[in-house]
Amino acid sequence: MPVGTHATVKAVAPEELTALGAGIILSNTYHLYLRPGEDVIKGQGGLHRFMNWPGAILTDSGGFQVFSLARFRKIREDGVQFRSHLDGSLHFLTPERAIRIQESLGSEIMMNFDECTPYPAEEDYARRSLELTTEWARRCKAARTTDQALFGIVQGGMYPHLRRQSLEDLLDIGFDGYAIGGVSVGEPKPLMEEVTARTAPLLPRDRARYLMGVGEPLDILFAVEQGIDMFDCVMPTRNARNGTVFTRHGKLVLKNAHQARRFGPIDPECGCPACRNYTRAYIRHLFLTGEILAPRLATMHSIYFYLDTMRDMRTAILAGFDLANAAVRDLGVGAATTLAVVELFQDSLRTYHVGDSEILVVGQRGKVKWRTVSHSPAGYAVEAGLVDENEAMSHEDRHVVSNMVGSSEMRIDMGPVVRLAPRDTVLMGSDGLFDNLLIDEIIGAIRKGALETGVSALVQASQHHMTEPVADHPAKPDDLTIIAYRRDPVRTSRKSSQSAAGEQGRSSRRDPS
């Protein structure tokens, strides 16, 4: 989300933001409350009309800005007393007041009023801070009188157990989305990554996940891998106004002397107005002469680059499915197939699939952590609890597949981010596996022991059922494809590493029977 703190994204008009592809921006409750005042904005019909912005708006509650005014504020249980950074006037902001202001602004998404825990903070302080944030969250929700979405903010400092407690408290209250706050406040980057990686997978799968205040491209990529959906940061536009931008090849300082004779665009792969029409040499000249056009062009590039990067991440895997679908349809022979993909991160995964191939995630003790639903009448019936697995194997429609690659109506089933523990096993299999073996048989073969041995056992058992069916266990001769992966165990010594190496790894087996 481009940041428009004062009801404007600096150096760019709202129409230009729309042309760049922005669909939502962030504005700040604290600053708009102080100037021009919510009554002025409400009098013009809300923030959208006030700034002529047709897209969505998220309003920050002002908690972070109050946090940043440490010398001029006093936190109490009922709210925060602070002095304006503009004229020193005294103000008192409560959770109820923060919601009323945001309702007057008319944003699509409002944020809870929270205390942003500073870094560093002792555990006792972080606990008291999150308890105050939780109580304010209850008051914010009770104060809401409109249908604007309201997001809760997870606090807890750099303590994972406090983060979990904060989220559990917010889930009990119930919000439309959930944000991770209190990061990128001065802590080392590895600590920020640890907090994000431990907190993001706990956020609800069916709600928007928002990481507040993080803006480095690699940090965003890392957070997306953990399951985060939304970001905001002033850094992209602030840096751009000062002559530093990002490209697909890294950071670029436009004021540097060696740019003086660079007659190509900022980024040859970028489609923004600055890259389509101007050279680095020209933009550097504009910066050095103090021309207003310089920060405008750099800001437009920066916004476009970030939005384009997010689009690329969002569509990379889905585009692969679409290309496969088009290739199968182009054969022109009525062919169809199934497709399953597992996207592995550092300690988690996400599944994508079309058709009746399935993906299974199993813990070492045999607990099913995630299983995709076969796109077939029988698969949907099992998922709905209408039939059990044994009945599904004998179902008259068990060979019917209702969603396939090669169909004009193909849909992609995208799963949630699933956290992986050491020795968790991920199994991908075609219907030759799942239509011949019961889930308990599959789990029993792969949940422990050498991965290669488990996969071999599945191949043998599936082939046996295909060729020698037994009563009450129908067989389905079909292609048999298995891909298995097991996450590395935690290695604490060279000796344990060597002993584990023989068991861990990837194993795949394909039998065209």
Which amino acid, residue 383?
A: E
Asked, colleague to colleague, whether 14-233 and 339-511 share their fold, the answer is: no
User: What is the Cβ-side half-sphere exposure of residue 14, based on CA atoms within 13 angstroms?
Assistant: 19
For residue 213, the tally of other CB atoms under 10 A from its CB is 21
361 bridge partner residues: 370, 426
According to the model, what pLDDT value does residue 346 have? 60
* Whether 60 is catalytic: yes
Which residues neighbour 497 within 8 Å (Cβ) at sequence distance 6 or greater? 491
Which residue, 165, 169, 196, 191, is CA-closest to 180?
196
92 bridge partner residues: 81
Q: Contact at 8 Å (CB) between 210 and 151?
A: yes
According to the model, what pLDDT value does residue 475 have? 73
According to the model, what pLDDT value does residue 265 have? 97
DSSP 3-state of 153: strand
Q: Contact at 8 Å (CB) between 213 and 198?
A: no
DSSP 3-state of 149: strand
Looking only at the bridges linking them, the beta strands covering 56-60 and 24-28 are parallel
User: CA-CA distances (angstroms) from residue 137 to 27, 97, 114, 171, 484?
Assistant: 20, 13, 7, 11, 43
For residue 385, the tally of other CB atoms under 10 A from its CB is 7
DSSP 3-state of 177: strand
According to the model, what pLDDT value does residue 321 have? 83
| Choice among 169, 219, 232, 308 that is catalytic | 232
pLDDT digits (tens, 9 = 90+) for 185-217: 999 999 999 999 999 989 987 799 999 999 999
According to the model, what pLDDT value does residue 382 have? 81
pLDDT digits (tens, 9 = 90+) for 56-99: 999 999 888 877 777 788 999 999 999 998 999 999 999 999 99
Residue 135's H or E segment, with its range, is helix 123-143
For residue 390, the tally of other CB atoms under 10 A from its CB is 11
* Whether 232 is catalytic: yes
User: CA-CA distances (angstroms) from residue 211 to 133, 153, 394?
Assistant: 17, 9, 47
For residue 105, the tally of other CB atoms under 10 A from its CB is 24
Q: Contact at 8 Å (CB) between 213 and 183?
A: yes
Q: Contact at 8 Å (CB) between 240 and 299?
A: yes
According to the model, what pLDDT value does residue 502 have? 30
According to the model, what pLDDT value does residue 17 have? 96
Report how far residue 373's alpha carbon sits from residue 303's, in angstroms, rounded to the nearest whole number: 38
Q: At what angle do helices 217-225 and 189-199 cross, to 10 degrees?
A: 30
According to the model, what pLDDT value does residue 500 have? 27
Assign domain 339-511 one CATH number from 3.60.40.10, 3.40.605.10, 3.40.50.2300, 3.40.640.10: 3.60.40.10
| Choice among 60, 114, 308, 424 that is catalytic | 60
Query: Domain locations in the chain?
Result: 14-233, 234-330, 339-511
Residues of the chain with pLDDT under 70: 317, 345-346, 471-474, 489-513
According to the model, what pLDDT value does residue 491 have? 42
What's the topology of domain 14-233?
TIM Barrel (3.20.20)
**CA 136 to mean position of chain CA atoms:** 26
| pTM given for the model | 0.68
